[in-house]
Amino acid sequence: MINKYINQKQKEVLTKIVGLLQNNDLRWLKEWEGGLAKNYVTKKEYRGMNAFVCNIDKIEHGYKSNYYLTFLQIQKLKGHLKSGSIGVPIFYWNIKEREVINDAGEREVRKAFFLRNYIAFNVEQTDIKIEKEEKKTLTPLESCERVVASYKDKPVIAQISQSRAYYSPIEDKIVLPLKEQFKNIFAFYSTQFHELSHSTGHEKRLKREGIMNHDFFGSDVYGEEEIIAELSTIFLCASAGIEHETLNNNSAYIKSWLENISKDKTFLFKVVGKGQKSADYIVKNKMQEAN
């Protein structure tokens, strides 16, 4: 019964996000200007899919606070949940290990991953005092440069007069058109972030299949890598404060690969997690220190 409920919850969240992308309703992403949702008690930001889910919840109910907490945390703080409050699912991977005998007759440990969730509530749904939240102080272009600078083992970046941008895994090199060839500076940084995100999949970094075993255009592997890179770009643009200028293009790009999502209800959860991991690899938590 629990597994059935969780699967249905995954389906509900997936259907809602895909629908919002298809309808170009990007307010749930633009809320990142005020910061990512975070746990009220631990102060840790929610990552990946959970950031998406909480921001959708904030928009739908008009919450101003980024803070969420569980019913147990509310009780421990001696707070009370307002009557009729409905929470949001916070997803996590539960890992189970089991020992098996492989084809060679040797013992090995295999891991199984199960997507689970618990329920969290915005602090505005309680009578707990809401703490004042600090705002970013970096200017957009300065913060963009900080994102690039924080990528310590980044590939070589070259700018030449041409009409395309790409990342070469063989050379571990990014090639971009000249800045003046872009329609604006925000498009330049968004494109640079996209190619930097691809580079995190290199075998000496995060070892993603779409980069290590580069497949032909239009294949499932290629499509998955493109979505991962663009989701990573969304996170990086949000960190740098330029999401307002780039989200329409980011969304359109992701929509072009949405067919993959319908094949597997956990697909979006997986690629959002990989996109977050890619962005984290680049940023190395430097942006958080600057806030």
The per-residue pLDDT of the chain, averaged, comes to 81
Over the stretch 21-47, which tens digit does the pLDDT of each residue have? 666 665 555 555 456 789 999 999 888
Q: 290 pLDDT band (50/70/90 cuts)?
A: very low
Mean pLDDT of 181-196: 92
CA angle 61, 45, 83 (to 5 degrees): 35
- Angstrom distance (rounded) from CA 196 to CA 206: 12
pLDDT of residue 263: 60
> Given this model, what pLDDT does residue 287 score?
41
pLDDT of 4 > 50? The answer is: no
Q: In the chain, where do the E strands start and end? A: 38-39, 67-70, 88-101, 107-122, 156-159, 166-168, 173-176
pLDDT at 111: 81
Checking if the pLDDT of 114 tops 80, the result is no
Mean pLDDT within 143-169? 93
Would the pLDDT of 156 be above 80?
yes
- Write the pLDDT tens digit of every residue in 215-255: 655 567 788 898 899 889 888 887 887 876 666 666 666 66
* Residues whose CB falls within 8 Å of the CB of residue 222, separated by 6 or more in sequence, listed in order: 210, 214, 215, 216
CB-hemisphere CA count at 13 Å for 77? 18
Among the listed residues 6, 4, 10, 9, the one whose alpha carbon sits nearest the alpha carbon of residue 266: 10
pLDDT at residue 35, as a whole number: 64
- Which residues, in sequence order, are bridge partners of residue 91? 117
Q: Which sequence spans correspond to the domains of the chain?
A: 2-125, 140-290
